[in-house]
Structure formats: C-alpha cells, structure tokens
Amino acid sequence: MTPVEVAAVDLGATSGRVIVGKVGGGELSMRTLGRFENRAVPTPNGLHWDMLGLYRGALTGLAAAVREHPSIASIGVDSWAVDYALFGGGRMLGTPYHYRDARTAAGVEAAHALVPFAELYRRNGLQFLPFNTLYQLAAERAEGPLLGLADALLLVPDLFGYFLTGNAVAERTNASTTGLVDVSTGQWDDGLIELLGLPRGIFPGLVDPGERIGATLPYVQREIGADRPIDVVAVGSHDTASAVVGIPMQDASRAAYISCGTWGLVGLELEHPVTSDAAREANFTNEGGVDGRVRFLHNVMGLWLLSESVRQWELESGSAIDLPTLIAEAGAITTPVAVFDPDDARFAAPGDLPARIAEWCREHGEPVPASWAEFTRSIIESLAEAFAKTVQTAAELTGRDVDVIHLVGGGSLNTLLCRRTADRSGIPVLAGPVEATAIGNVLVQARAQGATGASLEELRAIVATAFPPLRYDPRASSVE
C-alpha cells in the first residue's frame, strides 16, 4: 500500500491542533503543524466558544500543513461533543454556547417534563449530562426566537466541514451525543424530536466516518495555499470516538479504556448497546463509535479539576505555575489526602474549584488540603479512585472480565495518575498514546484512502507498533 499523508484538525476544550499523519505499510508517523489556544469567553448572556477564532487557528494550521506536506490527500475534523451552531439562510445565528454555560438547567426540566429520563434513556441510551444537546435545545426553545429562525443545526466538527466545503452533514458518532439519535437504529429519532417540540428540518443527513463530505471551497484553497481542492472526509468526529480508534487494544473484549483529557471517559467498547435499568442507574452511556461499535462509558470529571484549579491559583498569585513541578511535589506527599467524589455536580462550572473541593471535604469530614501540592494529590487520588470504580462497574454491567486498562490522551503523561489508577484498580495500566484522538482521526482518513487494512483491529495494531504504550503494574501495597 502506498503511504498517504492526511491532516487532522483536533479541537479540544483547552486547545486545538493540526497534525499531519503519514500512514502506509503498517507504519504511522505524526507531525504537529499548528497549535492554538481555546479559551471560553464569558459574556453578559453566558459562556461561549470563540468559534471563528478556532476556525482561524485551523486554517493557519492547515496552511502550514499544506506548505510542508503539499500532497496531503484529505482533511478530517474532530472536537468535543454536544455543542452546535444554528444556521439560517446560510448565516450562523449567534455565537455557539459552551456546554458549561448555566442555561441548560432550565432545559433539563423542560425536556424531562415532556419525556421522562427513563424513556429518553430507552430511546437514546445516553447517560444524563445536563448539557446533552437535547437539553440545550430545550433551553434554546424556551429562551427565544432563534430556534424558529434556524434551518440547520451543525455540531462543531460539522460546522468546520461546512465552512471548508459548503456541505452540511451530521457525522454519526457525534450526532449520537445529541440525545436525538435512536440507539438501536443509529438514525435521527423523528418521534423523539417531535415529542420535544424541536424542528426536524434543522438536522442534516447523517454520514459515517470515512465518507467524503466534499472538497475545499476556492476561498479555503487560497487561505491555505493549496494548488487544488482537497477532500474533507468525515472521521469519528466526536473526539472520544476518534480516541477509541487510536487505543492500541489487542483484545477489546478484555480491555477497558480511559480517554483522559479535560474529561476522563471510562468504559468499554461493545458490539451492541446495553440500556438496562442497572446501566441507566449507573449513568453509563452508549455513544456511537466508528464502524458501528458502541462506546459504553461514563464521564468522570477528568483533568478539568486540575486545570481549573491551576487557573484559579494563577489568578490569585499572579504568576504562572509549572505543572510538572506541581505534580512532582504532589507525588512526594506521604500522608493520606482527601479522596472526594470528582463527579459531584458542584465541580462542573468554571470558577474557584479549590474552594469547592475544600467545601466538599468539610461537608464529608475529609481533611481539607492545605497546599497546592495537597490539592493536586487529592485531585489525582480522587480521579484514580473514580477511574478504578468506574472500570469495575463497567465490567459488572456487561459481565466482562477486564485484564488491562488503556489510558490515553493528555492524562497518559501524568505518571502519578497512571500509577495510582493501576494501584487502586489492581489492574495493569497501559499508558499512551497521548495523541490518541488525532491518531484515530488520521487512521480513519488513511483507511478511506486505501492505505490500511479494513478492520479497527488492523488500525490498532498500527498504533501499537508506532506508539508502544508504557506499562504500570499495580503495586501490592495499593491504597494509602
């Protein structure tokens, strides 16, 4: 197979990047050509994403990609899930909201008054997260006229696909996070959309990862300096869907995974959804994966707890904090620290997280951390404990045996987190790759170009060779 080069645009909650991947003959190499910040923007009417700033960052990165790798065969875009832009008459209506904006609380109440949660779960298989698109749309509907003016809704990667090609689609893995896709058929649930009083016409046709969305428009070609139109290909456009493709699992039936960045997505890959009462009560989700697989997982709060705490300390102290030093100091602590519930809803909104952690500890009779290092250790121990418990619950809910936990994403660089997850679960942790999401994005494009074998297992074997994971065995004296 001739090697191909493709460009991945990967948008995370704190930064975006453009990475060129070269794939062929079972080999894979990745090169970062652009990196840009993603900072939420508070305004009088709530918390928003700087969507056009992100698009500018993507175009600048793509220009660098084309300059250095003029033969790139395609472009694929992934991002966090659930958030969207509304379009009317070809124009974006307003600035897209950030899922951490507080407006969704009213949407939850409005939606559950029309369709109770148990019925929603039966239909969409999604864990309850107050920002699932359907709740945001229920809030939007109650708020004002915007929804009535819209003729299209585009999730973030689909918005970029539209900007790049002029074609509006809904990529299926990300569409599954709206709560409006039928978990058993993978199609828009027209009945549910009607029950919720939403306009069916705004939801574009669904496409699968690997399908071509279109070719870059002439203005894009000029912006990125390309001498020809470049194909834009749908990937697992939900970042977690791409990340799971990029996990070097050898036997997915005995492996659990943790995709750890802002969130810690903890679960298993299944062939069929599990929407039992027990799964609903444990708040496990059945998101759509690449090739029709199911991401059976639970959202643990993730490194958001640390990054938002660091942001607060930097604001208070007026100086920059070196994260590796802070984590090393946290690792050196030998006295027990508080283990709190990272999933407590009070930790979801931006702001002074250390104060909220301290409040949780006081309420629950746990020792209140007394220094930045103690807070950091407490966050890492709490995440490791939640990861371990969630893996165990996933195994119980599915009747599976788990012999290995893959930890990918930014969290895989956090040695203390990997080690403590192994200790607390009693299961070996295989850490890396850090860029699993961009790797999954690249591999699905490369497969569409014929540069790899057809199965996910073949794609994962390529990852295992190119980025061998680091192993952490659980230690006997596990919990301190």
Closest CA to 334 of 360, 365, 373: 373
Helices (H), 69-204: 104-114, 117-124, 133-143, 146-149, 156-165, 172-175, 190-195
DSSP secondary structure code for residue 246 in this structure: T
3-state helix, strand, coil in the chain (%, to 5): 40, 20, 35
Burial of 212 (0-12, 13-18, 19+ CB in 10 A): middle
For residue 179, the minimal CB distance to ligand LFR (Å) is 12
For residue 479, the minimal CB distance to ligand LFR (Å) is 28
Structure tokens at 6: 């493709």
Helices (H), 14-50: none
Residue at 154: amino acid letter:
L
**65 vs 156, beta carbon nearer ligand LFR:** 156
Distance, C-alpha 22 to centroid of its chain: 23
**274 vs 462, beta carbon nearer ligand LFR:** 274
Catalytic residue among 151, 239, 291, 352: 239
Closest CA to 49 of 34, 32, 37, 61: 37
**61 vs 267, beta carbon nearer ligand LFR:** 267
For residue 189, the minimal CB distance to ligand LFR (Å) is 19
User: Do 78 and 239 meet the contact criterion of CB atoms below 8 Å apart?
Assistant: yes
**124 vs 262, beta carbon nearer ligand LFR:** 262
DSSP secondary structure code for residue 411 in this structure: G
Tokens 């299926």 -> residue:
172
User: Do 261 and 12 meet the contact criterion of CB atoms below 8 Å apart?
Assistant: yes
For residue 22, the minimal CB distance to ligand LFR (Å) is 25
For residue 301, the minimal CB distance to ligand LFR (Å) is 11
Peptide bond into 145 cis (omega under 30): no
For residue 296, the minimal CB distance to ligand LFR (Å) is 13
Dist CA 106 CA 290 (whole Å) = 33
Interface with ligand LFR (CB under 6 A): 13, 80-82, 99, 238-240, 261-263, 265, 299
For residue 130, the minimal CB distance to ligand LFR (Å) is 11
**288 vs 474, beta carbon nearer ligand LFR:** 288
For residue 304, the minimal CB distance to ligand LFR (Å) is 10
> Reduced to 3 states, what is the DSSP secondary structure of residue 40?
coil
Closest CA to 431 of 236, 300, 259, 239: 259
**Alpha-carbon distance values, 288 to 198, 245, 284 (Å):** 22, 12, 13
Closest CA to 467 of 405, 409, 425, 404: 409
- Residue 10 among the catalytic residues: no
Dist CA 61 CA 56 (whole Å) = 9
Closest CA to 140 of 170, 95, 173: 95
Q: Which residues contact 277 (CB under 8 A, 6 or more apart)?
A: none
For residue 261, the minimal CB distance to ligand LFR (Å) is 6
User: Do 427 and 402 meet the contact criterion of CB atoms below 8 Å apart?
Assistant: yes
Q: Which residues contact 341 (CB under 8 A, 6 or more apart)?
A: 360, 382, 386
Tokens 């709490």 -> residue:
382
**64 vs 81, beta carbon nearer ligand LFR:** 81
**Which residues are catalytically annotated?**
239
